[in-house]
Structure 1
Amino acid sequence: MQTNLSEHAKRLPRGEEAESILRSCVHCGFCNATCPTYQLLGDELDGPRGRIYLIKQVLEGNEVTAKTQLHLDRCLTCRNCETTCPSGVDYHNLLDIGRAVVDAAVPRSLGQRVLRQGLRAVVPNANLFKGLTQVGQVLRPLLPEALKAKLPRAARAAKPRPAPRHARRVLMLEGCVQPGLSPNTNAATARVLDRLGISVTPIREAGCCGAVDYHLDAQEAGLQRARRNIDAWWPAIEQGAEAIVQTASGCGAFVKDYGHLLEQDPAYAEKAKRVSTLAKDLVEVLRDEPLEGLGVRSELRLAFHCPCTLQHAQKLGGAVEEVLARLGFGLTAVADSHLCCGSAGTYSLTQPELSKQLRDNKLNALESGKPQVIVTANIGCQTHLDGAGRTPVRHWIELVEEAMN
């Protein structure tokens, strides 16, 4: 695609990167065929090709409007288009650049500002979020249905974690909402890894990965969280930790991008690159281990929802299914498994109507094989799908841990 960026755009810290991405797009439109919002709305500007054109216009100095902002806001950043694109267009980075420019030019309504700032204040704060979740459970009968749907249906307390005792050591990102919504997920992970001879070294100073801030009009705040996590992990990395494990694929996708996002920061560029190299989704660790030693026995029939951040961002589609099959779980077929469930971080709160439509479509596909339980690899997807009150949805590692002998 030919470009003629404005002088202002050329001076942006990522202006050159944006121009390179724009020029890689050949405008073929293959991306629209797999875009969830284009499929729902049928509007060219609510598909990747149209959004790329809008960003191109903005960076070439054309008027930036609230309509432009709306079409960019509606993007799930599921990155399905990147999987489909024959030209390798780095769409999500272009979207980040475009959104920052648009958000700086178009003031949001008071309601939108309050919502986004409220989410940024609450969601990344693990202790506050967990406390509010516990209060919500107590007050559940009094809450409106929309809030009830955001709370876990079945509260499962975290079981004790084994003390570190093995020579092989990994770190684990605890996350910000997972300790409140699914507190046993990371504990189950630690117990499974312990059985395989791998200890989890706790690093309490590490917090939210930064994705919530970064995708809610506060990119620098998100990068600051990334820097704090790098500082928290670095001593353990120097002492030989072999991986930084993520049990939420959304966090994992963002941590794996630290190296790119901080490549122009002279104080953190090399450390960020190292952290991104060490970042591993849980399935990347387990699939190379002797899983037969876990002694898993289960008759459960499962449907696996592969999060977009696992299959499109981390390119690990099919990896969890392979591990579950090796362990003897029965897996049902899932139609259109490449499509987003509508969770997409805070999307279910900022775009509730679209999100609900995508959720219901996804659940219909997941339930078509009549599974007893739906499992996934991302807390956002888990909470969003389970909030419909249909087939129970859990993290896959909990089912593995429960089935160990």
Structure 2
Amino acid sequence: MQTNLADFIRNTPDGEEADAILRKCVHCGFCTATCPTYQLLGDELDGPRGRIYLIKQMVEGAPVTRSTQLHLDRCLTCRSCESTCPSGVQYGRLVEIGRKHVEAQVPRPASQRILRRFLASFVPNSALFSPAMRIGQHVRPLLPRKLRDKVPARQRQLEWPSTTHNRKMLLLAGCVQPSMLPNINIATARVFDALGIELVVAPDAGCCGAIRLHLGYHDEALDDIRRNIDAWWPYVEGGAEAIVMNASGCGATVKEYGHLLRHDPNYAEKAARISELTLDVAEILPNFEAELAALTRRRAVHTVAFHPPCTLQHGQQIRGKVEHLLNSLGIEVRLPADSHLCCGSAGTYSLTQPALSYKLRDQKLDSLYALEPQMIVSANVGCISHLQSGTSVPVAHWIQLVEHLLFG
């Protein structure tokens, strides 16, 4: 694809990156076949190829309209198109550039500005989010259904392991996971403890930056990223082996730290190192398959349906590892026919685009029900909460199933 960048973006980091990505696109349209919003809406501009054209027009100086903003807003950033693309177009990076510049040129209606500002200020701030979640869980039966869907039932918390080990890895607790679904982090720590590895949570680390980044608050997202690097760096220098991610959305973002701060002279080198150290749980535990199999005590659950989050299979390009590990522990793992498609959670998407989000959720649940599982497992807190809001079938993180196999 030939490009002719406009003056406002020519010779800028965003312009150079957008130009390189656009030039890889050959208009083949394979991406439309795996785009959830195109399948729902049937509009070329609500598929990757159409959005690429809109971004191309923008960076070449064409007028940017509210329609352009709407089509980019509807994108889930699931990156399924990247897995399909034969030319290696990095659509996820391109759409973030497009959104950032559209945001600067097209004023939003007041209602949208208020909602997005609220989400960017409230959700990543655990000092605000955690007490609000606790209150919501106490009064959950009284909440309207739409709000109740966003408030998971309170869990009886497991105990965090107290043993100290020589082998240490960092764990990102996350901004919403500790209050929404705390047992994901605790189960992760318990499994690693059983393998002789201590997981350490840096107290000053917080939101990975994804929420503000995807909402268009780019500079604030970079501040989140720098804060995490500062919080982790003493542990990195102290010999932490890895930075463990059990929320695939966070993992996909942290692995981009090196790219996002590549032009920051104070953080570029550190950010690249952080990205190198970052591993999803599914990249670590297969190395301990034999040890886990020996520790397995019982299998009250025999058959599960696995929903691989987009941020795992498309964002991080991790496929098959969870299924193989669970199979080795005696669990039959079934994948739905549309396992490559998004469930509609996509961070704050279910709040900014609720109609599309719930249609995608219901479609995904129908395909999961067809597998007749005892439970549904996934690998990202947002997907788990979103799917659970629409079903009585238990939905959990797959690491919680592993913990259950080990400890009963």
TM range (shorter): over 0.9
Counterpart secondary structure, 1:96: helix
Deviation larger for 343-352 or 141-150: 141-150
Amino acid at match of 1:291: L
Deviation larger for 132-141 or 339-348: 132-141
**Hey, what does 2:391 align to over in structure 1?**
389
Separation of aligned partners in 1, 2:306 and 2:276? 27
**By how many angstroms is 1:285 displaced?**
1.1
Contact 1:196–1:293 (CA under 8 A) maintained in structure 2: no
Identity %: 58
Residues 123-164 of structure 1, C-alpha deviations (whole Å, 9 max, x = no match): 1012321211111122223211100111113x2133221135
**Hey, what does 2:309 align to over in structure 1?**
307
Separation of aligned partners in 1, 2:142 and 2:298? 40
Residues 302-359 of structure 1, C-alpha deviations (whole Å, 9 max, x = no match): 1111000000011112111111111111223411100000000000000000000000
**Hey, what does 1:91 align to over in structure 2?**
91
Separation of aligned partners in 1, 2:138 and 2:253? 33
Q: Map of 1:246-395 to 2, 5 A cutoff?
A: 246-289=245-288, 290-300=291-301, 301-395=303-397
**By how many angstroms is 1:257 displaced?**
0.4
Residues 339-397 of structure 1, C-alpha deviations (whole Å, 9 max, x = no match): 00000000000000000000000001111111111011000000100011332211111
Separation of aligned partners in 2, 1:32 and 1:74? 14
Q: Map of 1:19-58 to 2, 5 A cutoff?
A: 19-58=19-58
Alignment coverage as a number of residue pairs = 404
Distance 1:325 1:296, change over 3 A: farther
Separation of aligned partners in 2, 1:68 and 1:357? 23
Separation of aligned partners in 2, 1:202 and 1:134? 21
Contact 2:307–2:335 (CA under 8 A) maintained in structure 1: no
Q: Map of 1:55-204 to 2, 5 A cutoff?
A: 55-153=55-153, 155-204=154-203
Amino acid at match of 1:293: A
Separation of aligned partners in 2, 1:250 and 1:31? 21
Separation of aligned partners in 1, 2:277 and 2:255? 8
Separation of aligned partners in 1, 2:124 and 2:225? 12
Contact 1:158–1:185 (CA under 8 A) maintained in structure 2: no
Contact 1:296–1:400 (CA under 8 A) maintained in structure 2: no
Separation of aligned partners in 2, 1:138 and 1:336? 36
Distance 1:237 1:164, change over 3 A: farther
Contact 1:296–1:327 (CA under 8 A) maintained in structure 2: no
Amino acid at match of 1:169: K
**Hey, what does 2:406 align to over in structure 1?**
404
Separation of aligned partners in 1, 2:246 and 2:275? 15
Contact 1:164–1:200 (CA under 8 A) maintained in structure 2: no
Give 5+ residue unaligned stretches, structure 1: none
Separation of aligned partners in 2, 1:23 and 1:291? 47
**By how many angstroms is 1:11 displaced?**
4.0
**Hey, what does 1:214 align to over in structure 2?**
213
Amino acid at match of 2:215: L
RMSD across aligned C-alpha pairs, in angstroms?
1.1
**By how many angstroms is 1:74 displaced?**
0.3
**By how many angstroms is 1:63 displaced?**
0.4
Separation of aligned partners in 2, 1:126 and 1:403? 31
Separation of aligned partners in 2, 1:296 and 1:309? 31
Give 5+ residue unaligned stretches, structure 2: none
TM-score, structure 2 as length reference: 0.97
1:10 aligns with 2:6: no
Amino acid at match of 1:392: P
Separation of aligned partners in 2, 1:280 and 1:181? 23
Counterpart secondary structure, 1:302: strand
